[in-house]
A = this chain, B = another copy of it.
Amino acid sequence: MDRVSKEAGHDARDTPAHQAAADEAPLHEATVSAPVNIAVIKYWGKRDSKLILPTNSSLSVTLSQDHLRTRTTVRAAAEFSSDRLWLNGVEEDVAASARLCNVIATARQLRAAMEQADSTAPRLSTWGLHVCSENNFPTAAGLASSASGYAALVSALGALFELPQSATELSRVARVGSGSACRSMLGGFVAWQAGTMDDGSDSLAEQVAARAHWPQLQALVLVVSDRKKTVSSTAGMQTTVSTSPLFAERVRSVVPHRMAAMRAAIVARDFATFATLAMQDSNQFHAVCQDTFPPIAYMNDTSHAITSLVHAFNAAVGRVAAAYTYDAGPNAVLFVLRDDMRALVQLLTRCFPRPAAMSADAFYADPFAVFASPDLAGRDIDDPAVTALADSVGSFAAGSVRRIIHTEVGDGPRVLPSSESLLNHAGMPKHARE
């Protein structure tokens, strides 16, 4: 192997003549974007923590990359002396992350197999990699950045290496980076089959239905302010597995039924069943967190108030018109059909007034811009019961909900044109930060 750091700047080959030759060589690079997903049957607990094999199957909705996404560029070059990675402009230590190393090594193995079969293929598997990744949302907001991040990385490696594997097959690789990342390898509605094999070969993501299957289904992401440090999901779920007396019952008796019922509800576009199961499974996930020792509380008072508001909204309109779900943090994702969206948003924005001042980051210029959406314009709460409800609930502290993101079901990872590359000619980030 012959890797040279261009950054060192003292290499003998870094001459004008050599540079000109490099300019003419084709770039081995791919840029992709990948979506976040939100589980409606929750993943919590591993049966193998190195391979990230879960204790139970889970099912998620992929959210639109138009609103939340990770974009990643991967370049392979013989000149790269080592693998390097920049996340939102800041370099990370690749060697320090066993999961990251595992993912890269696995993708290289798949490439190496191709190279063995085709002697004309460039030996990309032996070259260094530069990876540059950017989220269009704050990592700290708890919006599943590791899922979209590893899905983007694996998809980019698949494109760079021209791997023949399907998205489902590559979901095994993404899974090794972050369990829920395997579900971000596909669009629409996605099941992560727990599998039973020790090597994880049957623990992968499959599409239950495509994005276009249920165009009426929309989502609101409510970013909730929180002062607490939270327990990482990796640490939290292992503590649950080892200390919660109720957890095994969830895995054994509850999830299998719910997986089947949720799949059927999605196929039938049965919103009431979909919504009820999503709420119940979110609740049970947080129940087993509370049954953990020491207990884990990801939801806060604002989260619980949103839960109560959704149940009150459903009671007011006399049907299951909205659902909530919460991951390992206080943020809520609400599901609602298009026709009910405006009433729900008006209710939420009356009960959770917009923050007086915006926080420093500018990911969302106007977090309450949902009203500008064509879907919502020109419609109002026409249900007297909902209006009365908003008046009766009163309002919570301004800024308890910091942002409202109106989104919908999305597609899987997208390969982007080279003009979208995040790396400059020298293979360094275009948008570096200190």
Residues of A at the B interface (CB closer than 8 Å) are 244-246, 249-250, 253-254, 276, 279-280, 283-284, 286-288, 290-295, 297, 299-301, 304, 307-308, 311
A250 contacts across to B, CB distance below 8 A: 245-246
Q: How far is the CA of A287 from the CA of B254 in the complex (A)?
A: 15
Q: How far is the CB of A96 from chain B (nearest CB, A)?
A: 26
- Pick from B276, B279, B280, B295: contact of A283, CB below 8 A: B295
A245 contacts across to B, CB distance below 8 A: 249-250, 253-254, 284
- Pick from B253, B291, B294, B307: contact of A287, CB below 8 A: B291
11 contacts between A and B (CB under 8 A): A245-B253, A245-B254, A246-B249, A246-B250, A276-B293, A283-B293, A286-B290, A287-B290, A287-B295, A295-B307, A297-B304
Q: Which residue of B lies closest to A305 (CB)?
A: B228
Q: How far is the CB of A93 from chain B (nearest CB, A)?
A: 27
SS class of chain A's interface: helix, strand, loop or mixed?
helix
A304 contacts across to B, CB distance below 8 A: 297, 300
Q: How far is the CB of A246 from chain B (nearest CB, A)?
A: 5
Q: Which residue of B lies closest to A294 (CB)?
A: B311
What 9 pairs across the A-B complex have the smallest Cβ distances?
Answer: A287-B291, A287-B290, A249-B249, A287-B287, A297-B304, A283-B295, A294-B311, A246-B246, A301-B301
Q: How far is the CB of A231 from chain B (nearest CB, A)?
A: 10
Is there an interface contact between B293 and A290, defined as CB atoms closer than 8 Å? no
A246 contacts across to B, CB distance below 8 A: 246, 249-250, 254, 284, 287-288, 291
A283 contacts across to B, CB distance below 8 A: 290-293, 295
Q: How far is the CA of A190 from the CA of B413 in the complex (A)?
A: 60
Q: How far is the CB of A167 from chain B (nearest CB, A)?
A: 33
Q: How far is the CA of A304 from the CA of B330 in the complex (A)?
A: 13
Q: Which residue of B lies closest to A252 (CB)?
A: B249
Q: How far is the CB of A418 from chain B (nearest CB, A)?
A: 48
Q: How far is the CA of A24 from the CA of B288 in the complex (A)?
A: 65
Q: How far is the CB of A203 from chain B (nearest CB, A)?
A: 24
Q: How far is the CA of A249 from the CA of B290 in the complex (A)?
A: 15
Q: Which residue of B lies closest to A396 (CB)?
A: B227
A294 contacts across to B, CB distance below 8 A: 307-308, 311
Q: Which residue of B lies closest to A248 (CB)?
A: B249
Q: How far is the CB of A396 from chain B (nearest CB, A)?
A: 9
A292 contacts across to B, CB distance below 8 A: 283
Q: How far is the CA of A65 from the CA of B284 in the complex (A)?
A: 39
- A-B contact sample (17 more), CB < 8 A, given A245-B249, A283-B293, A287-B295: A245-B250, A245-B253, A246-B249, A246-B250, A246-B254, A249-B249, A276-B293, A283-B295, A284-B290, A284-B291, A287-B287, A290-B290, A294-B311, A297-B299, A297-B304, A300-B301, A300-B304
Q: How far is the CB of A166 from chain B (nearest CB, A)?
A: 35
Q: How far is the CA of A311 from the CA of B287 in the complex (A)?
A: 19
Q: How far is the CB of A40 from chain B (nearest CB, A)?
A: 15
Q: How far is the CB of A191 from chain B (nearest CB, A)?
A: 20
Q: How far is the CA of A254 from the CA of B288 in the complex (A)?
A: 14
Is there an interface contact between A280 and B293, defined as CB atoms closer than 8 Å? yes
Q: Which residue of B lies closest to A299 (CB)?
A: B297
Q: How far is the CA of A275 from the CA of B332 in the complex (A)?
A: 34
Q: How far is the CA of A244 from the CA of B291 in the complex (A)?
A: 14
Q: How far is the CA of A396 from the CA of B279 in the complex (A)?
A: 31
Q: How far is the CB of A274 from chain B (nearest CB, A)?
A: 15
Q: How far is the CB of A127 from chain B (nearest CB, A)?
A: 47
Is there an interface contact between B253 and A279, defined as CB atoms closer than 8 Å? no
Q: How far is the CB of A123 from chain B (nearest CB, A)?
A: 52
A249 contacts across to B, CB distance below 8 A: 245-246, 249
Q: How far is the CB of A26 from chain B (nearest CB, A)?
A: 55
Q: How far is the CA of A394 from the CA of B27 in the complex (A)?
A: 53
Q: Which residue of B lies closest to A297 (CB)?
A: B304
